[in-house]
Amino acid sequence: MAATIIDGKQLAKTIKEEIRQEVERIKLQGGKTPHLGAVLIGDDPASQSYIRSKVRSCEQCGFASTLIQKPSIITEYQLLSIIKELNDDDDIDGFIVQLPLPEHIDEEKVTLAIDPKKDVDGFHPVNFGRMALGLPSYLPATPNGILEMLKRYKIETSGKHCVVVGRSNIVGKPMSILLANKSYPGNCTVTLTHSRTQDLAAETRRADIIIAAIGIPNFITADMVKEGATIIDVGINRVDDVTAKRGYRLKGDVDFENVQSKAGFITPVPGGVGPMTVASLLINTLRASKKEVYD
């Protein structure tokens, strides 16, 4: 039987509409308009496209947004000054600094300079630590988007074996912690796998839920998947395609065509996890403006 396709694009639309309605209510009651700041350094086309989509989504939901764009020659000191201004600006509820940054700027230093109360990306160690302890925090966008998908498709997670493929600080590592936490979605038995894992296929074949976040197109093939498993594909890989208008096509980490018939639930690329990440950022920004995480 073919898998149920998890429609991230539709789900993100639904969440954004829920947020829009809540913001409308807040404004009618004289409350604060949520305000997101976004910093973009340089002219990387992928980063520009992500930032555009984030700012557009803010507008759709009735948020205020402030986009600060600077050329890649900006010094680290200048960027840290911009961050200080955003930290001190009472109208800005939360802000993000789009990554990657130019090589001469230390990303760790930049992340640490952001006030955890305004860190709606959830990248600051304070937010990571709070997340790991199950305390209120801003959850990183991709793992939070995946939790929303599991919740809204009512996918059972308790006692299930989840195999996370990839140990990045923004996806694999937090995802493995969140799914092991005592909550729903959560209560999973989690295996975190990576490039040094021996016999990865043996691990994924035991999984009720696979989170693929490695950045290699078609890496997860049908023989690596158990019948009926839930497959979440985080990969956004650009592969050359002369027939495509832009000269490339987006491919996930999962061989969707062949895995689809074996899985229980599966996310497509594009239109799966990707759109959910922007919805997560809006959720965090709204929580920041309502002072739900820190007061």
Decide whether 215 or 264 has the Cβ nearer to ligand GUN: 215
Decide whether 200 or 282 has the Cβ nearer to ligand GUN: 282
**Looking up tokens 């027939």, which residue turns up?**
243
Q: Which two tokens stand for residue 253?
A: 């980490």
> How far apart are alpha carbons 68 and 59 in whole angstroms?
16
What is the nearest approach in angstroms of ligand GUN to the Cβ of residue 187? Answer: 26
Cβ-in-10-Å burial (0-12, 13-18, 19+) of 29 comes to exposed
What is the nearest approach in angstroms of ligand GUN to the Cβ of residue 53? Answer: 11
- Spell out, one character per residue from 253 to 272, where the chain touches ligand GUN: x when CB under 6 A holds, - when not: --------------------
Active site residue 13: no
For residue 94, give the amino acid letter. Answer: G
What is the DSSP secondary-structure string of 225-243? S-TT-EEEE---EEEE-TT
Specify whether the CB–CB gap between 228 and 263 falls below 8 A: yes
Judged by CB under 6 A, the number of residues near ligand GUN is 6
- Spell out, one character per residue from 164 to 203, where the chain touches ligand GUN: x when CB under 6 A holds, - when not: ----------------------------------------
The residue whose Cβ lies closest to ligand GUN is: 99
What is the nearest approach in angstroms of ligand GUN to the Cβ of residue 43? Answer: 15
Active site residue 98: yes
Binders of ligand GUN in range 76-135 (CB under 6 A): 96-99, 121
Decide whether 38 or 188 has the Cβ nearer to ligand GUN: 38
Binders of ligand GUN in range 131-160 (CB under 6 A): 141
The residue annotated as part of the active site, out of 16, 93, 98, 119, is: 98
Axis crossing angle, helix 45-60 with helix 273-289, rounded to the nearest 10: 50
DSSP 119: B
What is the nearest approach in angstroms of ligand GUN to the Cβ of residue 28? Answer: 31
Residue 288: how many other CB atoms lie within 10 Å: 23
Beta sheet of 94-97, edge-to-edge order? 64-70, 35-41, 94-97
Decide whether 193 or 277 has the Cβ nearer to ligand GUN: 277
What is the nearest approach in angstroms of ligand GUN to the Cβ of residue 121? Answer: 5
Cβ-in-10-Å burial (0-12, 13-18, 19+) of 90 comes to exposed
Decide whether 37 or 217 has the Cβ nearer to ligand GUN: 37
What is the nearest approach in angstroms of ligand GUN to the Cβ of residue 46? Answer: 8
Active site residue 251: no
Decide whether 96 or 211 has the Cβ nearer to ligand GUN: 96
Specify whether the CB–CB gap between 189 and 157 falls below 8 A: no
Nearest CA to 212 among 189, 187, 237? 237
The residue annotated as part of the active site, out of 119, 121, 208, 253, is: 121
Query: Measuring CA to CA, how many Å separate 86 from each of 35, 90, 95?
Result: 11, 8, 7
Residues with a catalytic annotation lie at 54, 98, 121
Chain positions contacting ligand GUN, by CB under 6 A:
96-99, 121, 141
